[in-house]
Every structure is written in structure tokens, then in C-alpha cells.
């Protein structure tokens, strides 16, 4: 997914919990969905960043080479400026772009 073009807020803002509850009719379920999506986004961003930084990895890095690598520093700064994964997940949830997976538990009935 392209998180570079997201319109999620970079700053913390106060949300009305009623807006979150409308979609799933349960605030706790909504928060659980947002939390799981934020975890997924975190993993995706981390993998993408790791792949980009691997190109700069040298078998014998010393401190001078690490501090002088401008391209690597620019990539890291870009990812630091991205909105937090929770903000991205919240934006996706409010736009109803997140599919909710419901697991149905089978109830076992006991005959007495």
C-alpha cells in the first residue's frame, strides 16, 4: 500500500468515540479492528524501510561511513515524517476501507 500519499493527520487530534462506534456498533470492537490494522501497517512500513536500507548495508560498516551516508539519512527522515500507523488505520477505518473479519464461535450445547 502507498502510505506516502495518505491524508492521515500527523498530529494527535481528539476524536468523538460515537463516530467510531457507528460503523461496528461496538466501541471495543472498533478499537480492536483499528489496533490490528495499525499492527499490519507497522509491519508493512518496517519491511519496506528495511528493504530500502539494505541497499546501503556494507559488510564492514564503521562509524564514519554511517554518518556520511546522506541518502540513507534522507530515507530515514522521510519515514519518520510519515503519520503514525494508528492514524493511518483510523483514517482507513472511518473511510470504511478496512474489512472486518468476524469469527463465529460455535456454541456447544450440553444435553442434560
**8 assigned to some structural domain:** no
Range of the domain at 25: 14-94
Residue 104 lies in a domain: no
Residue in the block written with cell 477505518:
93
CA distances from 31 to 17, 23, 69, 94 (A): 10, 11, 40, 12
Confidence of residue 109 (pLDDT cuts 50, 70, 90): very low
pTM of model > 0.75: no
80 domain residue, yes or no: yes
Instruction: Kindly report, residue by residue over 15-48, the tens digit of the pLDDT.
Output: 888 888 888 888 999 999 999 999 999 999 999 8
Whether residue 30 lies inside any domain: the answer is yes
- Tell me the pLDDT tens digit for each residue of 50-94: 888 787 766 655 555 555 677 888 888 888 888 888 988 888 898
Q: Does any domain span residue 62?
A: yes
Is residue 2 included in any domain, yes or no? no
Tally the domains of the chain. 1
Give domain status of residue 105, yes or no: no
49 belongs to a structural domain: yes
SS3 category, 94: helix
Amino acid at each position: 500500500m502507498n502510505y506516502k500519499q495518505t491524508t492521515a493527520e500527523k498530529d494527535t487530534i481528539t476524536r468523538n468515540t460515537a463516530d467510531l462506534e457507528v460503523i461496528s456498533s461496538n466501541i471495543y470492537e472498533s478499537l480492536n479492528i483499528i489496533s490490528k490494522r495499525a499492527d499490519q501497517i507497522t509491519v508493512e512500513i518496517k519491511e519496506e524501510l528495511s528493504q530500502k536500507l539494505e541497499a546501503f548495508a556494507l559488510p564492514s560498516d564503521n562509524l564514519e561511513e554511517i554518518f556520511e551516508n546522506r541518502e540513507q539519512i534522507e530515507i530515514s527522515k522521510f519515514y519518520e515524517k510519515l503519520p503514525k500507523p494508528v492514524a493511518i488505520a483510523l483514517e482507513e477505518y472511518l473511510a470504511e476501507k478496512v474489512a472486518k473479519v468476524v469469527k463465529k464461535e460455535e456454541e456447544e450445547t450440553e444435553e442434560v
